[in-house]
């Protein structure tokens, strides 16, 4: 789809994206690059990073890839420092690295729970901590920006107690850093909470083919990686310069939804029949009070 933004909305900025070698992270890197930014991507698999950097370079986007684990402070510090050394500065940090899988709570080991907490929550804070000295120096029209990727309804999700807890904590980190770093250092910190996004590993892992995810979404369709990237561009552009501490839901309204227990076609018929059934009783009650 064609972008609604001008091609230079993030011109001259440098963005570092964890989990940037594939999926939503890579698409955000592409869109940042297409709109004028230089991008660094971080991930644990060097072969995936190399392929992603090649894809970015083929689009004319200045890009580098650094292998590293967001759970390790020494890796986080090294990647941030290498990014600044290569491009001269850092304006945007996107924390998109995450881990998730379906498992009933009683079957989830404490170590499995800890692993996801470490990647999602500890990893997010560690990257923010290491990027902070460079982001606080970003005093252009938008200042420094951190984008933390959450997911739909981080408060609770079936068979995802580990990821729900981790992302709820990430949302809390987002709001707390927005409060402190926004006030003292002009660093905006926002979140993006994607719903079911087509052609992603997350959707294939968390929504088996026999589950109709579209039917549970008010817009009756899946989102795309493009949708998430456009939200990121908005927050990174001058249009978003007064937005801080917000977690944007990019989920087609899924956060509003509850399981549909009654077919829509039956609602009107049932409502009318109930009204007819209850009307005489209601009249009797009113008459008895006269």
pLDDT higher than threshold 50 for residue 181: yes
The residue ranges of every structural domain in the chain are 14-259, 260-290
Q: How far apart are CA 73 and CA 124, in angstroms?
A: 11
Radius of gyration of the chain (CA): 23
Q: Of the candidates 229, 123, 119, 124, which has an alpha carbon nearest to the alpha carbon of residue 175?
A: 124
**pLDDT score recorded for residue 241:** 93
pLDDT tens column, 5-35: 999 999 999 999 999 999 999 999 999 999 9
Distances (CA, A) of 53 to 32, 41, 57, 74, 148: 14, 8, 6, 23, 22
Query: How would you list the strands of the sheet with 144-149, edge to edge?
Result: 63-67, 38-43, 14-18, 92-95, 144-149, 187-194, 247-250
Spatial CA neighbour of 95 closest among 53, 129, 59, 61: 129
| pTM listed for this prediction | 0.85
Distance CA 23, CA 20 (A): 8
71-121 per-position pLDDT tens digit: 999 999 999 999 999 999 999 999 999 988 888 888 889 999 999 999 999
Query: What are the percentages of helix, strand and coil residues in the chain, rounded to 5?
Result: 50, 15, 35
Say yes or no: domain 14-259 is CATH 3.30.70.660: no
């Amino acid at each position: 789809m064609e972008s609604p933004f001008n091609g230079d909305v993030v011109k001259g900025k440098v963005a570092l994206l964890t989990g940037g070698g594939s999926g939503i992270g890579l698409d955000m890197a592409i869109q940042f690059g297409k709109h004028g930014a230089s991008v660094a991507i971080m991930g644990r698999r060097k072969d995936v990073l190399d392929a992603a950097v090649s894809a970015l370079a083929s689009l004319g986007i200045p890009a580098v890839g650094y292998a590293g684990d967001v759970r390790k402070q020494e890796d986080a510090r090294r990647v941030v420092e290498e990014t600044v050394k290569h491009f001269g500065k850092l304006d945007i940090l996107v924390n998109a690295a995450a881990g998730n899988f379906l498992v009933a709570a009683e079957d989830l080991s404490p170590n499995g729970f800890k692993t996801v907490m470490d990647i999602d929550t500890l990893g997010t804070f560690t990257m923010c901590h290491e990027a902070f000295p460079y982001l606080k120096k970003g005093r252009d029209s938008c200042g420094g920006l951190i984008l933390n990727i959450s997911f739909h309804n981080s408060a609770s999700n079936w068979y995802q107690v580990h990821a729900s807890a981790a992302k709820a904590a990430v949302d809390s980190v987002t709001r707390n850093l927005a409060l402190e770093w926004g006030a003292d250092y002009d660093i905006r910190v926002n979140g993006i909470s994607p719903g079911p996004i087509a052609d992603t590993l997350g959707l294939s892992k968390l929504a088996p083919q026999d589950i109709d995810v579209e039917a549970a979404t008010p817009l009756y369709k899946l989102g795309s990686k493009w949708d998430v990237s456009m939200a990121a561009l908005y927050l990174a552009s001058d249009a978003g310069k007064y937005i801080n501490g917000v977690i944007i839901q990019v989920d087609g309204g899924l956060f509003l939804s509850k399981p549909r227990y009654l077919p829509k076609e039956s609602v009107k018929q049932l409502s009318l029949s109930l009204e007819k059934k209850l009307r005489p009783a209601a009249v009797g009650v009113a008459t008895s009070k006269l």
